[in-house]
Homo-oligomer: A and B are copies of this chain.
């Protein structure tokens, strides 16, 4: 209570330095940090007693916590937040690491979905936590090609290729058998009807087909309806597939010894909607975002932190890359790495989508 000043402004430099030291020590050791350890290992130029005073102050302000009376201090989510704020606009990744990452991205002759796997894998190995990447998704697409092919006795394979690259394949059941020629016919008709259309355009075609007199072949209607559905789904989702890698890295962290937490986190990640919901604010700022523990909207993620960055060109194709780790994470390194990889992904997108 002694030196409470009640000003919301920045902490004194010394307090902040101590907070920083505590966080770095805690991140490194996963053990509550004591005043003694701090002065010996960080040479702060003051005595443990002074550090203790500052610690008490930081605890009052909500930046630190301690698990029990005679244990060292542990940063709170609020403490991490302050720490992260103080470094966001900082250091580039070490050149060696840049080189290593760039090297992994060397051969881009891959199938498109492979890059995103690669980005996730690279992030995972570089940061030792879990890497996440979503495929780049254009805001909306037109139909480039539609192809209907016989698959089984009463099933057809419907492939839709969209202008910006995405491909969708589904199987369609028919209510009567079709000969190969009939399918070929239908495929041609469909291609003519739908080529170049947007989701909206396809809906219109569907309406016309439904009302046509004499009625058109029902397989055309059914296929068109399926295409409408595909386009709707495409437009509705904010992100494409989510790739992740190195989730096992996270598992090794002592805080996840063997808990329910991890299962919840896995579940949330599977769900594309989760990252989709975050997209707007990510793209708006265009910077690296850090979401710490309880700051996360989703209660299943309260024990982990995310470092995310958007990539791509607004209006063309966008996606997210990032890492997921325990709240006790090496933020500076994670932030630099994510920033660097998102930069690489930007290059790729520029290269691939005009």
**Interface residue from B109, B163, B173, B354 paired with A173 (Cβ < 8 Å):** B109
Binary per-residue interface labels of chain A (138-161) against chain B in the complex, 1 for a CB within 8 Å, 0 otherwise: 000000110101011111010101
In the bound assembly, the distance between CA atoms of A354 and B161 in angstroms comes to 25
Q: How many copies does the complex hold?
A: 2
Cβ contact within 8 Å between B258 and A171: no
State how many angstroms separate the Cβ of A243 from the closest Cβ of chain B: 12
Total contacting residues, chain A, CB less than 8 A: 40
Dominant SS at the A interface?
Answer: mixed
Binary per-residue interface labels of chain A (207-242) against chain B in the complex, 1 for a CB within 8 Å, 0 otherwise: 000000000000000000000000000000000000
Chain B residues near A164 (CB-CB < 8 A): 151
Cβ contact within 8 Å between B111 and A170: yes
**Interface residue from B149, B154, B262 paired with A351 (Cβ < 8 Å):** B154
Cβ contact within 8 Å between B171 and A111: yes
State how many angstroms separate the Cβ of A166 from the closest Cβ of chain B: 8
The answer to the question of A251 belonging to the interface, with a C-beta cut-off of 8 Å to chain B, is yes
**Interface residue from B152, B165, B168 paired with A352 (Cβ < 8 Å):** B152
Additional A-B contact list (17), CB under 8 Å, known A112-B171, A149-B161, A251-B258:
A109-B171, A111-B169, A112-B157, A112-B169, A149-B165, A151-B164, A151-B165, A152-B350, A152-B353, A152-B354, A153-B354, A155-B352, A167-B169, A248-B263, A248-B266, A251-B251, A252-B258
Q: Which 7 A-B pairs have the closest CB atoms?
A: A152-B352, A111-B170, A157-B165, A248-B263, A155-B352, A167-B169, A152-B354
* Interface of A toward B, CB cutoff 8 Å: 108-113, 144-145, 147, 149, 151-155, 157, 159, 161, 163-165, 167-171, 173, 248, 251-252, 257-258, 262-263, 266, 350-354
